[in-house]
Amino acid sequence: MNSEETYAYVRFESPRRHERGHFPGVFALANGLARAGRLTEAQQRFWRAGNDWYDAAYPTPDASFYDPERYPGAVSWFKTTATHLIERLPGYLELLAAHGVPCREVRSADPGRVIYEDDVQVVVVPHG
């Protein structure tokens, strides 16, 4: 990789595919732990406050963009310019690590066909 190469998008996701074939993102992974009742009381407070903050900080794309028949494999990516959102993710990564849930950072200049875009994110159908 060229050291001058820049990436416009970043995603934090599981290195393991979900049964629908995509790699679940950081929020889906954390939400899964919460739904399963695996969080400690302190982790539950962090997760709830974090999700509330993110819900207020940026728009949530309509669920139709994630319809597996219409948009197979569609996933969200942050724009790398959304630093105010990205800088709050380490707490989620620590939460996942505390439960042995792996999460990787992936960067791309072209993650797929854009089906939704706003100031801080895109939803794409991956290439191929």
The whole model's pTM is what?
A: 0.92
CA distance 59 to 69: 23
Q: Phi-psi region for residue 37, left (φ > 0), alpha (ψ -120 to 50) or beta?
A: left
**Taking a C-beta distance cutoff of 8 angstroms, is the pair 88, 26 a contact?**
no
Q: What is the DSSP letter of 104?
A: E
Minimal CA–CA distance to 25: which of 121, 128, 127? 121
Strands 104-108 and 75-79: unpaired
Asked if the model's pLDDT at residue 1 lies above 70, the reply is no
The overall average pLDDT reported for the chain is 94
> pLDDT by residue (tens digit) across 107-126?
999 999 999 999 999 999 99
Q: Could you give phi then psi for residue 102, rounded to 5 degrees? A: -70, 145
Place of tokens 């998008």: 9
